Each structure stands twice: as C-alpha cells, then as structure tokens.
A = this chain, B = another copy of it.
C-alpha cells in the first residue's frame, strides 16, 4: 500500500515551523506587547512545559515571614503567550503578603496547607476578606489591592494562578517607600505623615 493519508501528513510536516499551538519564550530574543519571541518549536522538549521551581519552599526568614515564588513567563517561558501563569506562597506563622496588585491579570488562590486570611478592596471601596481553609479557593479581580495573612499557628502554603503569563506584581510598600520618590511627594499623594514615610523608607531601603 502506498503511504496512507500522505497529503495530510505532509501538511503536518511542512507546517512544523509555523505551529502556533504555543510560543515558548526565548528570553534573549525581542519582546513585544504580546510577550517574548518564540523558541524554535523543533528544539522544544517536555521540559519547556514543566517547571519544578515551585516544589521548593520559599525562604520566609524575613521581616514579613513570607515568600512569593513566581512562575511567570520570565521564570517559566513555557507559559509565554498562553494567558496563564502561577506562583507559590509560603507563609510562616505570623507571615504576611502585604497589600499588592497584579496590574496585568486576575488571580485565583488555592490553600494547600494551613489557614490564610485573604482579602481585596474593590474600586467601590468595599472590603472583601475571609479566612480560608485547606482546599478553599478565592479569586482576586485584576488590578485590585489585596493581601494574604497566615491565619493559623503553623506554616501555610498556597498556589496561585493568574490570567496572564506576565501579570506583574506591585507591592504597595515598595512602590511608596522602597525607591527614591521624595518624601514630600509621598506625603502629598498619600496624606501620610513625613515621619511615618521616613521610617518606612528606612526599613525598605528607600531614599529621598
């Protein structure tokens, strides 16, 4: 018998270079508004689609007793262009992920160990917060200020996912106090007292 389905098979083969099922990011090639350039699909292996970095607890020996380990496109190029990414949250007892936003995506969180009090504030200035138990999930709409706090006496762990391969992360305290924004500008735009601002600039490494 001659080669069956030959025509279609050819179609497959010849279009290999153009497959747009996925676009594993080439972090060294030009980046555009939609993400990184694609690696050559003929050179991909399953390891381009697997990331093991979230299997290791983040280091929570810090002031906030918490760690966020991202698996965004920059760390896990396999998600580039696919509209999804993940991260791991480790919260030691007393640990806090302070107020922050993800400008580029909504977030869904699942608690896999311990208890976490999580909340967000809407544009209408309403606060939504609750203590979540193992297996509970909560969604944080795109761009809104939210936080997570360990609500139990033991280590809490959560995995979060985002509706973007590069959701971004803007931590409020760092945005306000961790850079060179002059104290008087911070005061004028937040109504915080100068002493309070300078105190936190000291803690977070800010100047001005």
Contact = CB atoms under 8 A, between A and B. Distances in A.
A101 interface: yes
Interface string A28-62: 01111111111001001111011110111011111
A75 B142 CA distance: 20
A16 B56 CA distance: 22
Given A124-B41, A161-B86, A190-B99, A104 B33 contact: no
A205 to B, nearest CB: 7
Contacts of A26: 30
Nearest to A56: B135
A7 B41 CA distance: 34
- Of A49, A81, A99, A200, which is in contact with the most chain B CB atoms at under 10 Å from its CB? A49
A23 B31 contact: yes
Contact of A21 (B85, B161, B168): B168
